[in-house]
Amino acid sequence: MRPILSDRNLADFHRVWWQLTEFHHFRQVGDSAAATQALEAWRRSLAATGLRAPEAAVLMVEMWGAAGGGDLASVDALMSKLLATAGYAALRPQERTLLLSLHAEWLLLRRDFRAEADVLVTAIDLTTSLGCEGHAIQLQLAAAIARTGLGDFAVAQEHLDQLVALLPAVGAEKVHFAAIQVAAFRALRCGDRAEAEACLERAFALGRHYGYVNTFLWLPWLVAELVGHALARGIETEYACRLVRARQLPPPADRPTAWPWPVRIHCLGPFEIHLDGIPLTFPGKAPKRPLALLSGLLSRGGRQVGAQALWDALWPDRDGDAAADAFTMALHRMRKLLGSDAAILLQDGRLSLNPALCWVDAWAFDACIDTAEDIPALEAALDLYRGHFLESDAPHAWSLATRDRHRAQMLRAIERVAGAEAAAGRHEVAERIYRRGQSIDPLCEALFHGQIRSLLTLGQRAEAARAFARCADVLAATFSVRPSPDTSALMRGLPTR
């Protein structure tokens, strides 16, 4: 198309038509930046030549451009205007089909499954009567997604079956790619993990082979959900990460640890920052103030932290204006270190790490620990808890409270899950959990108590004696005290209180 568009003798009408074709090409291959440039060229040509396109057609093109670039606010505004502008009754049947398809796609972008399902009933009937196979495929995909979102899994499968019947007439691998992804989405939502993973393996292998970064019906939230599951299961991880980066996919609601986060911050244990998977290092002296600002922000939760509280804590010896200036400079330097101004948000005097770009192990730990009622959930929390909060930092009032809170959360979860395992008669598992807890807090007598009880129940009295001796040594060396009467009574075979 470029040689055609570079022809100075190309008629105005043809130039506009080819620019629109170029826009659709880039949209289909998922190159949002190039599609935006082609759309801008199309707009300029319309303005320069005086050619007029129907307003509804212009709105449709603008909506496609906004959707491809992820600008959902503009999509909403354009769709509302399109529905108000386009006189449905005056449209030709093919134009009605296109409008209904766009309306359904818009509702899917907003996850309004009920309204979308209602629109699709009319759209599918009209498309079937016209024999428009391309629109029929898109509508069957949309209907399968909507019915899955509503929990109507049997009806969703019917739409997928109808879609499969249409595929031989099209033969496009990209349509197969989209259909398998929708099948994976349905399987995930109805709890068929094995089928979902089989579909994901087929779909992502196909996408990797052909280099797809777009689908026949592009829905960022749906693709993000599938990518998150694929990454968690180790399915085509390189391709899945490429999809995220190429289309700047938003992370799914469960914020998977395996997601290719641009910024990863580890503050449980050694303080580390990773940018696109690469540890941030400093060849010389580490920038003290920007990192102190980040530590202060993390200690207060990392979200909606008052800026003045931070600068008062970091620059207590400076007056208001000087402290504010120092804060602004430290914030600028911190954003530069993280590689993006968008990584740290400052709105209405409150500072936040951008959850769309940043993953923080303490956030993941908090999300995980509340549901740590079984071994897998506890293991996930333990994997995140590499050590105490900002343990390499000098003790500071703002970090100590958070450190104590995370430590207490972890210990309660260990005692809860280990106690449940012991109550169920799985004492070997319980003993391993208590022992792992001691690596987190070797001064917690309750963990020794639980471990000793489990070992005695298993008949391993020698191991129990060694555990008791370690407990006694630690308590004597650290607090100059002996084990509690309850723990001592265990070794004497006496009932405990």
Interval 416-442 mean pLDDT: 89
Choose the most confident range, by mean pLDDT, from 113-117, 133-137, 249-253.
Answer: 249-253
pLDDT score recorded for residue 167: 74
Give the pLDDT confidence of 351-393 residue by residue, as tens digits.
Answer: 999 999 999 999 999 888 877 666 777 778 888 998 889 987 6
pLDDT, tens only, 43-81: 888 888 887 777 777 887 888 788 877 788 888 888 888
Residue 154: is its pLDDT beyond 60? yes
pLDDT of residue 76: 86
3-state secondary structure of 358: strand
Helix (H, G, I), strand (E, B), or coil: what is residue 426? coil
| Beta carbons of 140 and 159 less than 8 angstroms apart | yes
Q: Are 172 and 212 in contact (CB under 8 A)?
A: no
The confidence band for 150, taking pLDDT boundaries of 50, 70 and 90, is: very high
- Return the number of other C-beta atoms located less than 10 Å from residue 311's C-beta: 23
Residues in the chain: 497
Average pLDDT across the chain, whole number: 86
CATH number of 285-356, picked from 1.10.10.10, 3.30.70.920, 3.40.250.10, 1.50.10.10? 1.10.10.10
Domain range 361-491, CATH class: mainly alpha
DSSP string over 171-206: --HHHHHHHHHHHHHHHHHTT-HHHHHHHHHHHHHH
Structure confidence at residue 187 (pLDDT): 97
Q: Which residues in the chain are classed under CATH 1.10.10.10?
A: 285-356
Residue 495's pLDDT band (boundaries 50, 70, 90)? low
Chain region(s) in the chain for CATH 1.25.40.10: 361-491
pLDDT (0 to 100) of residue 419 = 87
DSSP three-state, residue 237: helix
Per-residue confidence (pLDDT) for residue 86, from 0 to 100: 62
How far is the C-alpha of 494 from the C-alpha of 497, rounded, in Å? 10
> Does pLDDT of 132 surpass 80?
no
Please report which confidence band the pLDDT of residue 199 belongs to, taking 50, 70 and 90 as the band edges. very high
| CA–CA distance, 311 with 326 (Å, rounded to integer) | 8
Task: Please name which of 487, 457, 490, 459 lies closest in space to residue 474, comparing C-alpha atoms.
Answer: 487
* 383-407: burial string, b at 16+ Cβ within 10 Å, e else: ebbebbbbeebeeeebbeebbeebb
Residue owning tokens 């990797």 = 208
Which pLDDT score, from 0 to 100, does residue 36 have?
Answer: 85
125 membership: H or E segment, kind and range = helix 113-130
* Chain CA centroid to CA 168, Å: 35
Task: Decide if pLDDT at 467 tops 80.
Answer: yes
Q: Which two tokens stand for residue 217?
A: 């019906």
Position 497 confidence tier, pLDDT thresholds 50, 70, 90: very low
Residue 345 above 50 pLDDT?
A: yes
Cβ-based neighbours of 229, under 8 Å, separated by 6 or more: 188, 196, 197, 200, 235
CA distance 105 to 123: 12
Tell me the mean pLDDT in the region 233-258.
Answer: 92
Q: What is the mean pLDDT of residues 393-407?
A: 80
**pLDDT tens-place string over residues 281-330:** 988 788 888 999 999 999 999 999 999 888 888 888 888 788 889 999 99
Rg (CA), the chain: 29
Residue 118 has pLDDT above 70, yes or no: yes
